[in-house]
Amino acid sequence: MSSINYKKMAKTARAGIAAIIAHNSTDTRLQKDHSNKDIDKSRTADNWQLYKMGYRDTYDKFLSRIKEIDSVLDENGKQVCNQRSNRIEAIYLEIPYPPEYKTLTQEQQDAWRDGVVNYLRHEFGNKNVIQAWVHVDEVHTYKDKFSGELVESRPHIHALVVPESKSKQNHLDAKTLTLKKNMQKRNRAIDTYTKKEYGINFMTGERAHKMKVEDLKRMQDADTQIRELTERATEAERAATKTEAEAQKRIDAARREMLQNEIDAEQKRISVFRELKKLEEKGAEYLRKLAAKQKTKQGQLDSATKELEKTQAELEKIEILKREKTIEYNNLILRGRAKADEYNDLAIKYDDLVIKYDHLAIENDELQKINKELINKINKAQQQAEDLGIRFDWERLLNKTEPDHMNYDRGEYGDED
């Protein structure tokens, strides 16, 4: 009868897992000489595999999946999955094509294969089906040991599966997955699918025959081949371990160099921080002095402004009086001359105030220029600090020490005495 064959692979047999992957992967299959003389390398390129990966990538995918399961911790910080040295980490499945598969077109055969593989992905979990292969280069004619007739062997689906528990996530439970009732359930599921979709049987209903000496010998030959592949994989694993140790040494050296660079950078950052601190203190002191000086100048400007306003008010009064007295001017010429002299004196005083105001405005412009230069220096220092990851609250400092500024247009008011 047709049925799925199971081979459980323990943690201690990772080299054997690597050997099975090497035996099935197209890239390494073409490179090796096989003890199975029925393998026709001229047809190896026609083999099929689920994922377009070679031996190395497939084995890395298996190790990554095991590492992912082992990385899950419980609330106490312990690994959820058991860590026994003899735990089963992989199941290797062989699923023969139906006995009447040749009645199907090639397209139907491919569809049947895809349907069975999709069932495995659903049954074991998509992430746990590491790879699946179909070998057409092993199909050959042989003499049936029971009937004595010449028959042709059938292609087989080979699949490598990580046995994650269905009921308990991130646990390996090959024992439950390979219980007799579960294996029979899968056989029936594939048989039902094959009958419903393609009208042929997967299971023939025949009982398994006892194996003869020739069959045992064939199995021994297969085991010998697996042992040879296992030994080769072990040697490759040792070489990889040595290379990994050398790489780790280089990584450690690079880490030490990186750490020293970080220490140097931190020391430089501290030095720059201290320089900036000094610059900040100098800037604050300069701003205090500038604020005091500007406060004095502001007081002088305020005083001059009041005097100008007073003088303007007087001039306006004189102008009004002049207009009112124009008619009487001819009769009061002597009095008018006296008033003219008074007016001239006020005009002279006004001119003096204008000149003094101009001087004060020039000094104010110079202070504004110095203030801008200082702000530019502070902005440049702030930019350097930000480049090094340091930020100072310059606006708070400026708002604390810098007084309000006023811009006056020269010529609007007269100068003070």
Question: Tokens 């094509």 sit at which residue?
Answer: 97
Where are the chain's structural domains? 5-207, 280-401
- Note down pLDDT in tens along the chain; length 417 residues: 568 999 999 888 888 999 999 888 888 887 766 556 667 777 878 889 999 999 999 999 999 999 999 999 888 888 888 888 889 999 999 999 999 999 999 999 999 999 999 999 999 999 999 999 998 888 777 766 666 677 778 899 999 999 999 988 899 999 999 999 999 999 999 999 999 999 999 987 665 444 444 444 454 555 556 556 656 656 666 676 677 677 777 777 777 787 788 788 788 878 887 888 888 888 888 888 888 888 888 888 888 889 889 988 988 898 898 888 888 877 777 777 878 888 888 889 888 888 988 888 898 888 888 988 888 888 888 788 888 887 666 566 556 554 544 444 444 444 444
Backbone angles phi, psi at 134, to 5 degrees: -130, 125
Parallel, antiparallel or unpaired: strands 48-49 and 88-96: unpaired
For 278, counting Cβ atoms within 10 Å of its Cβ (0-12 exposed, 13-18 middle, 19+ buried), the class is exposed
Angle at 285 between CA 284 and CA 291, to 5 degrees: 85
Provide the CATH number for the domain formed by 5-207 in this structure: 3.30.930.30
Angle at 14 between CA 213 and CA 80, to 5 degrees: 125
Distance of alpha carbon 381 from alpha carbon 279, whole angstroms: 8
In whole angstroms, how far apart are CA 363 and each of 15, 75, 287, 337? 89, 74, 17, 39
Distance of alpha carbon 178 from alpha carbon 220, whole angstroms: 23
In whole angstroms, how far apart are CA 205 and each of 3, 102, 187, 234? 10, 19, 11, 41
pTM of this structure: 0.50
Helix (H) or strand (E) holding 189: helix 180-198
Q: Pick from 196, 159, 117: which is nearest to 6 by CA? A: 159
